[in-house]
């Protein structure tokens, strides 16, 4: 029984020493994720690809998010990667707060192309298939 108590005492002392060393390092910042706030890190889009027939149109939304995945109030633009699609910003879309934008896409001719999304210094795209 004595040997068991001896080992338990050593384990408790070892854990106490580790806590004394690691404790101050873990408490350096009250919020370790605060560096991620307010810096654009990604564009989140409603779709990664769209299938349209010639003459059809659709809309999709996109947002710029920070490191905590919080939407940011950044200007977002949509543009066409080829003449096969016509792309515009949907001005009738007014989100509150203004943390996203909606693009309108119209298929003009058969092709596979992209709608390019830009905002917050970032760039992404949605693939458009028009058979």
CATH number at residue 116: 2.60.40.3450
- Helix, strand, coil abundance in the chain, percent, nearest 5: 20, 40, 40
Alpha-carbon gap, residue 75 to 89, rounded angstroms: 11
Give the model confidence (pLDDT) of 78-110 as tens digits. Answer: 999 999 999 999 999 999 999 999 999 999 999
Asked whether residue 89 falls in the same domain as residue 108, the answer is yes
Domain count along the chain: 2
| Mean pLDDT calculated for residue range 22-42 | 73
Handedness of CA 82, 106, 91, 66 (dihedral sign): negative
Q: Are residues 67 and 94 in the same domain?
A: yes
One domain, residues 24 and 80: no
Indicate if 73 and 119 belong to the same structural domain. yes
Give me the sign of the Cα torsion angle 110, 102, 121, 40: negative
Using 50, 70 and 90 to split pLDDT, how confident is the model at 60? Answer: very high
Cβ-based burial of 49 (10 A; exposed 0-12, middle 13-18, buried ≥19): exposed
- Same domain as 7, residue 70: no
Per-residue model confidence (pLDDT) at position 111 = 97
pLDDT recorded at residue 8: 59
pTM of the model: 0.74
Same domain? For 26 and 50 the reply is no
Q: Which residue has the higher pLDDT, 79 or 33?
A: 79
Indicate if 24 and 45 belong to the same structural domain.
no
Q: How confident is the model at residue 31 (pLDDT cuts 50, 70, 90)?
A: confident
Give, for 55, the enclosing helix (H) or strand (E): none
pLDDT of 7 over the 90 cut = no
- Among 50, 47, 39, smallest CA distance to 84 is for 50
Question: Which range marks the domain in which residue 59 is found?
Answer: 36-130
If asked whether residues 12 and 69 sit together in one domain, one would say: no
Structure tokens at 40: 């654009």
Q: Are residues 10 and 63 in the same domain?
A: no
Residue 21 and residue 74 in one domain: no
């Amino acid at each position: 029984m004595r040997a068991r108590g001896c080992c338990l005492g050593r384990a408790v002392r070892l854990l106490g020493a580790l806590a004394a060393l690691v404790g101050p390092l873990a408490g350096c910042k009250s919020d370790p994720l605060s560096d991620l706030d307010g810096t654009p890190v990604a564009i989140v889009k409603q779709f990664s690809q769209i299938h349209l027939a010639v003459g059809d149109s659709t809309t999709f939304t996109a947002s710029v998010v920070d490191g905590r995945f919080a939407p940011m109030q950044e200007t977002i633009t949509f543009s066409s990667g080829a003449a096969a699609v016509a792309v515009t910003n949907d001005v009738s879309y007014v989100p509150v707060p203004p943390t996203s934008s909606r693009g309108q896409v119209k298929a003009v001719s058969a092709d596979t192309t992209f709608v390019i999304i830009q905002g917050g210094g970032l760039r992404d795209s949605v693939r458009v298939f028009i058979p």
